[in-house]
Structure 1
C-alpha cells in the first residue's frame, strides 16, 4: 500500500496525484458454432417419389411423410432443415410402391440426398 501511495505523496507537493483509471477489458464470448442442418433432396430417378421420410437415427420411427399431399417428380428437388444436428435416416417410396432407405447420415456433413433408380446416396 505504501509503495502505491509514495509516488502520490511526492506529487502532492507539485499539485496533485493522478491515479490511472483501472482498465476494463470486455471479453465477448465466441458464438456457439453449430452445423448447418439444411439439405436438399434431389430426385434423379426415373420415378415419381410419393412419400419422403427422414428422422433422427435415435428415434426409431419415421414420423410423418414430409411431402404431405405433394409428390417429387423426376428431375425435381426440394429443401428441408433438420431440427437437430447428428445422424438421420431417410426413406423414400416411389409411386410403384418400391422403397429405399439410407441410414445414419450426418446432416452436418451431407447437404444433398440424391434419389436414384438404385436407391439413395448422400453427398
Structure 2
C-alpha cells in the first residue's frame, strides 16, 4: 500500500507535459581564454533588442562567472562578444533545465 501512495505522490509532482516553469537561476561561466565584453540573453526567435547583461560593468574575466535569470521555459539564445570583438551564439537553451552555461574557446555548452 505504501508503494501505491508513493507512486501517486510522485506522479502528482511530475506535473502535466508542457507544464510551465517559473523563473530560474543559471550561472554563465567564462572558461575561455579572453574576457567577455558583452552578453545578451533573449528568447529564441524573438527580437534582437535584449539589453547587455554586463551593462556598464567591467568585462566578465576569465575565469569568471555571473548569475542570469531564465524567466520561463524558453528556448533562449545567448550571444556574447569577447574583448577582441569576436562574437559567438548559443541557441536552444532550455529555461527549465539549464543551470550552467559554460563558455570555452570554440564551444559554448548549456546544461
Under a length normalisation based on structure 2, what TM-score does the superposition of the two structures give? 0.75
Give runs of ≥4 in structure 1 deviating > 4 Å: none
CA distance in 2, matches of 1:68, 1:75: 19
Matched, 1:55 2:55: no
CA separation in 2, counterparts of 1:54 and 1:44? 18
Which consecutive unaligned segments of at least 5 residues does structure 1 have? 1-29
Cα distance in 1 for residues equivalent to 2:25 and 2:31? 19
Aligned residues: 94
Structure with the higher fraction of residues in strand conformation: 2
**RMSD (CA atoms):** 2.2
Per-residue deviation, 1:62: 4.3
- Would the aligned equivalents of 1:45 and 1:117 in 2 still touch at CA under 8 Å? yes
CA distance 1:62–1:90, change in 2 (3 Å) = farther
Cα distance in 2, alignment partners of residues 68 and 115 from structure 1: 19
The 2-side partners of 1:88 and 1:121 are apart by: 13
2: distance between equivalents of 1:61 and 1:75? 27
Structure 2, unaligned runs of 5 or more? 1-12, 14-18
Q: CA deviation at 1:33?
A: 6.9
Residue of structure 1 in register with 2:94 after alignment: 106
Return the index of the structure with the highest Cα Rg.
1
With a CA cutoff of 8 Å and minimum separation of 6, indicate the structure with the bigger relative contact order: 2
